[in-house]
Amino acid sequence: MPKAYLMQESVDPDPKKNKKYFDFDSRPERVGRYWTTQESAERACEVLNSMQISALLPDGSGPYIYTGFQTEKQPSGLFFVFCEVPFMPQETKGESSATPQ
């Protein structure tokens, strides 16, 4: 299955919405979010797996829930976070409540 790498995350500027947004991409060279240790990347995976991040599928169906986040060490020594998905995640966006479930 294709990998959806976490590119970046942001918080909705409206605090009433209590939403967090996540951008994913299948191209690791586009990743802007990384960790310097495997331990910190693994902790991020635990948090992400608890957040119920959802997105519409490219065909408009869904929502799809991103789960099974894992770490991947890059040749640079940095760690990326990804999950496997049943579609090509070129610039897909997911969202979740800002508080883990």
59 contacts: CB under 8 Å, gap ≥ 6: none
Q: What is the pTM of this model?
A: 0.82
Tens of pLDDT, residue by residue over 20-66, are: 889 888 888 888 899 999 999 999 999 999 998 988 777 777 788 99
Tens of pLDDT, residue by residue over 74-94, are: 999 999 999 998 876 665 566
| Radius of gyration for the chain, computed over Cα atoms and rounded to the nearest angstrom | 13
Domain range summary for the chain, segments of one domain joined by +: 3-97
Nearest to 95 by CA among 16, 18, 38: 18
pLDDT at 98: 46
Pair 53, 66: CB distance under 8 Å: yes
DSSP secondary structure string for all residues of 8-37: EEEE-S-TTT-EEEEEEES-GGG----BSS
> Over 43-101, what HEC string results?
HHHHHHHCCCEEECCCCCCCCEEECCCEEEECCCCCEEEEEECCCCCCCEEEEEECCCC
